[in-house]
Structure 1
């Protein structure tokens, strides 16, 4: 009735949201309330005040209710409200008082049979934006892969992902995938603080694992994962996709066969975060731990050696750890510098890589252009805009089919993860930190071949 009220010059006020706190994860998810002297009417206080008005009879909502219907008629009622807009103002749906059957945890879909013989059966825990935009479309197109099941926290998200990418079933209980003997491998694409726990559970359940970075956000998690990996005989890969980028692998080939250490400079302009996001929360490991594994892994890949020691310094600016410089030493004597900043102009390219050694210079600018200077000649690197997501998943599937060495050597996989965590520690304490991952052993799992589903 806005038009009628406006023309009659009546005053009507609409609440555009629940109140301050809405869309603030620290308020809604972590329970950090705003002081009442700072914000009188927060999201919760607004709701509490309304419920108090209803409870004391000062707010009567009964006249608003124009119909009561069994929930089984919901579809019919909504259709009626669309076809006759003025018939109902508000309706109540009544649920059965008792339910005789347990809630269904998963929904099974009828899918077309997999044409390829010996298809690999993969399940997915988590299906957020990155998984939907990058990982799942690639797996969906792979003729060797059968997508068996997907689970997410929200049932509708799981059902949507199953329908969109062809999973056989969708649900909210990870145990349904972990305990399914027909599933040989799991893709883990959940929030960062849950990665380590799911990896350990999956390995103990006898599954091969592909997990998005970071592998872990605490050092003790690295040790627990290494122990589970050694005992499982399964394969593990972390989503360090850049080492599979054509431009980077092309650069690596120019350094093939050299025995001398290299120097790698990596500058990252991460940019200012746009609003609150779970990705930046400290309980998720923080922004640096969440993404810097990519950059340390590139240096390990170009050096051909795992990191062994780190030293870092941060700027004196108070606040989140988002501006630092780190010096990384590698086992073969190579060194790398990582400059991670957010305060430059927004138009600054995100990533710039330089590598020097044995009379060779290589430069990659934001995976847009790549150049190698060698023997007085200039070579251009191909693979613009490809950061290696398809390549890393191809490598994972090939590991499942054929076994052999893991796509990312385990000493580099664990070393990069620990180095990323240690850089934060060094930046905060000012200490030079020797990495410890080599002390708990990284034996190659003996069996890395999945039986065809």
Structure 2
């Protein structure tokens, strides 16, 4: 299948072949019939991609600050590489789509195969979308009209925040696609609508909908015009749907509003507010968030947890329904808004029109009729190259194509004598992009393509944590070596199932820090003394939102299982002694109940050593992220962020530095493939199991 992608690094808009995406639980698989290009949002993305690095930085100053912080902690070159890799990752374009359901995931109850639906799916022949971001198309509404639904719901959400009443005067500033939909919806609400734009064609369109529309570029003072039309009282509400860097639309909205009027920002403007303009009239100002309640809520969108209608009448899905009802009742007319139509194969021409023709409003893409109803190997797998491995090379299958795979793991594998055969990603887009970058032969959306391939003897797993155990077991059952990015699994039952598999193949968890040159130097120095060690590992982990998947116990396992396991393994490696006891306590904060990201884990070892892991998310970015202090026999070793190791009291050691931060990723993956060649495990399997069990001991205590 084909999809439209935008590269933010070089500015290219491409129509590329990708495998058909997999349908996940709670999701639909939809064959597209029509989609609409958003003249505002998508033009902005395309223009951003075409800008140079300095222009990009000026447009996103908050990102620049993040880059500066990363340079301080990780070093210049790793930061440059990370930024380039991030910008090079393609972004799917589009979010207003109409099509037909060809498959439903487990747990879907509202839809069945064959239903005509709208969704916020991208410009692609096949899209996979969560159930709550889809709505059935009523009889009598064409797919062409229905494809405007999601864009229309953005304007509707702005209206909902305005809370207009019959007869009120509402001003709409900006008559792009969303603005022209908004004025029609306001008219249906029984409002008097005044609208303005600098494009006379759009002004005339608004007038055709019964709106009092004016051209603000003809020397007209829009504030005076609105005041004259409201008998000097001012507008009851102003909805800003314009896109500009200027703060003028907000200032004008304040000036033309009545006392205690409402101003809603749906578009994008500057936000340099004049306090006196708002203070004297006691104006309210609010920014509207996309399609409505539920947007960006993982529980609502990805997990399908709807808000009770008695408490949240209008969710984003119910806003979709309302737009479609308006179309069905002929109260919302999108036909005059269609300025251009293209066949999907001509999508690049459509985007050239978007950037070159500033008068373009509704650009519609029409998709060819194809039979995607039964996905088979020819649709879920895409051939990228035609190279054959040599006999001595390990043949690799990678499951997962996210940031870690793209930015860290595969670059570390690049210099090794291995053969990259198949890369799997659920959506297909990342798999194709990463697969091309690192010379994979195939990209797929079906992990069975890895397990059933007799040529592949080594599997790399970098998916979300709740799938690790399943893929580890499948790899071992298929007689393949397996490298799994931490953690090994999320539960004791999963651990026992893995232990029960009789296998000769290697299992390695990505405990990379034990392979860092700094760790190796510490290990070498500690081997010169038999004294017990006291170790303090301080991790300035940084805040992650409570709704992030890593914080979800069922998906990510929480941050102790998901990340703190690294540091338990590091201390276990440095002592070279089995863990004897584990004690864990967490910071008590009722407002953050359930979060496991401010904890202290105390370990004792059979050789008499002790170790403490302070894993804290409540620190500051300016402090080093990872710091290790080792006290032993009257001497101290201090490791600062895996960049500088300093010795105190050591007769033959003072300091060890690396040019940039080195957490051992490259040496770790190299050790895995050396083990594939030699048959010797880089990390003893008993230590992997022991560290995993110690992590479970810690979370059992934290969870009570």
Q: Cα deviation per residue 1:203-257 (whole Å; 9 max; x = unaligned)?
A: 11111011100111111111111222xx121001111110001011101101115
The 10-residue stretch of structure 1 (320-329 or 124-133) with the greater mean CA deviation from structure 2:
320-329
**Which residue number in structure 2 is paired with residue 339 of structure 1?**
614
Counterpart of 2:324 in structure 1 is 51
Instruction: Give me the whole-angstrom Cα distance separating, in 2, the residues matched to 1:146 and 1:232.
Output: 23
> What TM-score does the superposition give when structure 1 sets the normalisation length?
0.85
In structure 1, the residue corresponding to 2:320 is in which secondary structure?
helix
Q: 2:671 aligns with which of 378, 395, 400?
A: 395
1:296 to 568, 581, 592: 568
Partners of 1:261 and 1:201 in 2: CA distance:
41
Contact kept, 8 Å, 1:184 with 1:208, in 2: the verdict is yes
- Tell me, yes or no, if structure 1 residue 280 matches structure 2 residue 551: yes
How far the C-alpha of 1:377 sits from its partner, in A, is: 5.8
1:200 and 2:473 matched: yes
Map 1:232-243; keep pairs closer than 5 Å.
Answer: 232-243=503-514
Provide the rounded CA distance (Å) in 2 between the counterparts of 1:100 and 1:270. Answer: 45
Contact 2:385 2:439 in 1 (8 A): no
Residue aligning to 1:149 = 422
* Matched residue SS, 1:381: strand
Counterparts in 2 of 1:10-29, with a 5 A limit? 13-14=240-241, 15=266, 17-29=290-302
C-alpha separation between the residues in 2 aligned to 1:428 and 1:88? 54
Give the counterpart of 1:313 among 577, 585, 606.
585
Report the equivalent of 2:539: 268
Change in 2 beyond 3 A, CA 1:224/1:6: farther
Per mean C-alpha deviation after superposition, the further-off stretch among 127-136 and 365-374 is 365-374
What corresponds to 2:129 in structure 1? none
Normalising by structure 2, we get a TM-score of 0.56
Q: Which residue of 1 aligns with 2:527?
A: 256
What is aligned with 1:441?
none
Match of 1:135 in 2: 409
After superposition, what is the alpha-carbon deviation per residue over 1:30-87, rounded to whole angstroms, capped at 9, x for unaligned?
2334455765543223222212222333223333346666555555666666666657
Question: How big is the shift at 1:305?
Answer: 2.2
Higher RCO (CA-CA < 8 Å; seq separation 6+): 1
Change (3 A) 1:308 1:140: same
Question: CA distance change for structure 1 residues 410 and 98 in 2, over 3 Å: closer, same or farther?
Answer: closer
Deviations 1:273-315 (A, max 9, x none): 2675222222220122211011101100111123242111222
Give the superposed CA RMSD.
2.8
**Residues in 1 aligned to 2:696 and 2:352: alpha-carbon distance in whole angstroms:** 54
After superposing the two structures, state which structure 1 stretch, 297-306 or 33-42, moved more.
33-42
Q: Contact conserved, 1:307 with 1:412, CA < 8 A, in 2?
A: no
The residue aligned with 1:106 is 381
Aligned CA distance change for structure 1 residues 366 and 51 (closer, same or farther; 3 Å): same
Report if the CA contact (8 A) 2:535-2:612 is conserved. Answer: yes
Deviates more, 1:80-89 or 1:181-190: 80-89
Cα offsets for 1:297-342 (capped at 9, x unmatched): 1100111123242111222212222222221122433221122222
Which residue does 1:211 correspond to in 2?
Answer: 484
Partner of 1:196: helix, strand, or coil? Answer: helix
Change (3 A) 1:398 1:235: same
Conservation of the 8 A alpha-carbon contact between 2:344 and 2:368:
yes
Runs of 5+ unmatched residues, structure 2: 1-174, 176-196, 200-214, 227-237, 242-265, 268-289
Question: Deviation at 1:347?
Answer: 2.0
SS at match of 2:500: helix
1:125 maps to which of 387, 391, 399: 399
Matched length: 424
Structure 1: 5+ residue stretches without partners: 430-453
Further displaced range: 300-309 or 9-18 = 9-18
Shift of 1:357: 2.9
SS at match of 2:414: helix
